[in-house]
């Protein structure tokens, strides 16, 4: 199994600790950019040499500015958005801004590890954005809700 290099944009030490713990089953190097500006600096310094970007969209929408910059400078970098479970507007915006995966808060360790492994390509085939959109559309489709 390869080591995944993960950039996390989050300023909450408890969230950072729980994400680090959730990824215990994944060999990883977690770099924390506590602000959007710090995360952008890390991306530039490392020349987009991360396997995945985790963005916590709780508490504001500044993460979307980060999404837009990532799409311009690191177009192939998978972005996993951590969102409140009941905020559909935030989820929709995450997909529209190029998020490849959504994880609901409170985080489930197994889901977090699987999402990171899939994004990094160390847990089987990485899932492309279109596959996640298709799965989401099936769940929210009026025909799919019975």
Q: Which of 21, 3, 4 is nearest to 110 (CA)?
A: 21
With respect to residue 119, please indicate whether it lies within any of the assigned structural domains: yes
With respect to residue 146, please indicate whether it lies within any of the assigned structural domains: no
- Mean pLDDT of the region 118-126: 66
With respect to residue 74, please indicate whether it lies within any of the assigned structural domains: yes
With respect to residue 114, please indicate whether it lies within any of the assigned structural domains: yes
Residue range of the domain that includes 32: 4-140
Q: How far apart are CA 39 and CA 53, in angstroms?
A: 9
With respect to residue 131, please indicate whether it lies within any of the assigned structural domains: yes
Q: How do residues 8-62 score in pLDDT, each as one tens digit?
A: 988 888 888 888 888 887 888 888 888 888 888 888 888 888 999 998 886 555 7
Sequence-distant (6+) residues with CB within 8 A of 68 are 97, 98
CATH number at residue 131: 3.40.50.2300
With respect to residue 109, please indicate whether it lies within any of the assigned structural domains: yes
With respect to residue 19, please indicate whether it lies within any of the assigned structural domains: yes
Domain count, the chain: 1
With respect to residue 145, please indicate whether it lies within any of the assigned structural domains: no
What pLDDT is attached to residue 134? 41
């Amino acid at each position: 199994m390869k080591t995944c290099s993960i950039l996390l944009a989050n300023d909450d030490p408890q969230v950072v600790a729980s994400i680090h713990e959730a990824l215990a089953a994944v060999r990883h190097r977690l770099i924390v950019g506590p602000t959007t500006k710090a995360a952008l600096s890390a991306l530039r310094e490392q020349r987009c040499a991360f396997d995945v970007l985790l963005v916590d969209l709780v508490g504001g929408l500044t993460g979307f500015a980060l999404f837009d910059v990532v799409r311009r400078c690191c177009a192939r970098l998978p972005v996993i958005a951590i969102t409140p479970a009941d905020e559909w507007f935030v989820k929709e915006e995450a997909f529209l801004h190029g998020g490849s995966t959504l994880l609901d808060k409170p985080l489930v360790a197994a889901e977090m590890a699987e999402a990171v492994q899939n994004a990094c390509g160390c847990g089987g085939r990485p899932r492309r954005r279109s596959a996640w959109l298709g799965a989401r559309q099936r769940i929210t489709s009026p025909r799919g809700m019975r």
